């Protein structure tokens, strides 16, 4: 450490800390590990030193340093004013372990404690049903970016995700996927074992659908889960062969073209379409699991499923849809997309209100917050329901119609839930 000696009036010598700014910022980071009010107040000295030595009108504080400062001040229960910072700066993950995915801020405190890793953060949230998360988040204004501190109620992990689906930290999804993988694979193994008895194929499908529904985000987005599920391809082949046979019975020659053709089309790409949560084949049944294209995970199993249905494509050739029929299907797809888009807009709007309230952008009474929380829950459930319906409605269309309908769905704001 570089030291500068200064002489006091009494002839004694003391030493002035002349370390570089990165080292002084590390002191602020260490001070921000405090969880008690008085300990956090002791950290003000580190902030003052860093500001005196490293911040000026020509060298504004960085976003990382501003977040670290707010971690100390918020822990000290001091009044925390919005903090301006250098607009071009980004958050440093080496100093801030819990940065939001979009880089807009970071978690400061989790239910009264500090977490130093994503896994620790999620562990702290699990038992927390009556606490709060303290966050720092960037908001852009006419005079430049500001960091604000928000205190968001945490009434449970699921409830927080429902209200604030965008406030995920970097690495959080992968950590959740990793934690969920053993239980998911255990359920998949149980489904395969159950399907070994041909009389239990319905129960096996129920188990598999429940496993997918409970881990739908991971199924859609986790590369590790995809790899693990691919390893179960052979084990699940008998189950999907049985599913094909069950659909073969349901899609018989007496069905009208308006029922048979769309069901065959959507079942070709979405194998769990027209299967209810109990594992029974029922035309028109929709689950979240049905929105997943299983061929990406289980090519052999899906091949067995398609082989069982091969003869039914001859019926499709005979029972062609008329122009009016395809128009009705198109209108139905547009309607599902509109409902999906409306639900997603509701999710976005409710979260914006809750964030504005929590970070002091708006003055909100309890009634407004409660209404926004309720709206968030309703919109989330609607989005989770409408997304697979929109996906299956699009898959029910003849190929030549699909591209235009998919574009319309995109314009309607219908998108895959990301939570």
- What residue ranges do the domains of the chain occupy? 3-170, 175-318, 323-411
Least confident of 6-20, 210-224, 294-308, 383-397: 6-20
Each residue's pLDDT tens digit, 2-18: 434 334 344 445 456 67
Q: In this model, does residue 1 exceed pLDDT 80? A: no
Q: Look up the CATH number of domain 323-411.
A: 1.20.120
196 DSSP assignment: T
Phi, psi of 274, rounded to the nearest 5 degrees: 65, 30
Percent of the chain with pLDDT over 90: 90
The reported pLDDT for the residue numbered 419 is 72
Rg of the chain, C-alpha, whole Å: 28
Burial class (CB in 10 A: 0-12, 13-18, 19+), 80: buried
> φ and ψ at 153, to 5 degrees?
-65, 140
Tokens linked to 59? 């060298």
pLDDT score at 78: 78
DSSP, collapsed to helix, strand or coil, labels residue 17 as strand
232, 208 Cβ separation under 8 angstroms? no
* Half-sphere exposure in the Cβ direction for 13 (13 Å, CA): 4
pLDDT of residue 143: 87
Q: How confident is the model at residue 53 (pLDDT cuts 50, 70, 90)?
A: very high
Mean pLDDT over 107-125 rounds to 97
Structure confidence at residue 418 (pLDDT):
76
Give the residue-averaged pLDDT of 23-47.
96
Q: What is the DSSP secondary structure assignment for residue 318, as one 8-state letter? A: H
Q: Say how far apart CA 393 and CA 274 lie, in whole Å.
A: 12
Token reading at 371:
């209404």
pLDDT in tens, 133-188: 999 999 998 889 999 999 999 999 988 988 898 999 999 999 999 999 999 999 99
Does residue 65 register a pLDDT over 90?
Answer: yes
* Structure tokens, 173: 């999804």
């Amino acid at each position: 450490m570089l030291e500068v000696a200064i002489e006091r009036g009494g002839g004694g010598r003391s030493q002035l800390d002349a370390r570089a700014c990165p080292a002084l910022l590390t002191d602020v980071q260490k001070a921000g590990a405090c969880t008690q009010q008085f300990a956090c107040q002791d950290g003000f000295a580190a902030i003052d030193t860093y500001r005196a030595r490293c911040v000026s009108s020509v060298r504004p504080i960085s976003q990382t340093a501003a977040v670290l400062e707010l971690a100390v001040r918020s822990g000290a229960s001091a009044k925390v004013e919005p903090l301006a910072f250098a607009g071009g700066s980004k958050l440093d993950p080496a100093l801030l372990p819990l940065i939001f995915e979009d880089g807009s801020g970071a978690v400061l405190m989790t239910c009264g404690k500090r977490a130093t890793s994503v896994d620790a953060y999620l562990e702290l949230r699990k038992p927390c049903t009556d606490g709060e998360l303290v966050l720092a988040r960037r908001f852009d204004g006419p005079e430049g970016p500001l960091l604000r501190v928000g205190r968001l109620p945490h009434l449970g992990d699921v409830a927080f995700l429902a209200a604030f689906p965008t406030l995920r930290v970097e690495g959080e999804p992968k950590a959740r996927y990793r934690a969920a993988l053993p239980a998911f694979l255990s359920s998949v193994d149980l489904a395969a074992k159950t399907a070994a008895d041909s009389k239990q194929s319905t129960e096996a499908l129920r188990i598999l659908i429940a496993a997918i529904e409970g881990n739908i985000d991971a199924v859609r987005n986790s590369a590790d889960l995809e790899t693990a599920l691919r390893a179960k391809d052979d084990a699940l082949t008998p189950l999907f062969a049985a599913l094909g046979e069950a659909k073969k019975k349901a899609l018989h020659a007496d069905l009208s073209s308006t029922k048979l053709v769309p069901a065959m089309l959507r079942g070709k790409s979405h194998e769990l379409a027209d299967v209810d949560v109990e594992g029974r084949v029922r035309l028109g049944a929709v689950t979240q699991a049905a929105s997943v294209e299983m061929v990406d995970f289980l090519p052999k199993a899906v091949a067995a499923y398609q082989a069982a249905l091969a003869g039914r494509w001859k019926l499709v050739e005979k029972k062609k849809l008329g122009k009016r029929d395809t128009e009705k299907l198109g209108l139905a797809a547009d309607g599902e997309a509109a409902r999906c888009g409306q639900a997603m807009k509701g999710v976005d709007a409710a979260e914006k209100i809750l964030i504005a309230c929590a970070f002091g952008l708006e003055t909100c009474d309890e009634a407004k917050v409660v209404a926004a929380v309720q709206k968030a829950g309703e919109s989330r459930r609607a989005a989770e329901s409408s997304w697979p319906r929109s996906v299956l409605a699009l898959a029910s269309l003849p190929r030549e119609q699909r591209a235009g309908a998919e574009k319309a769905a995109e314009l309607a704001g219908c998108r895959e839930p990301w939570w």
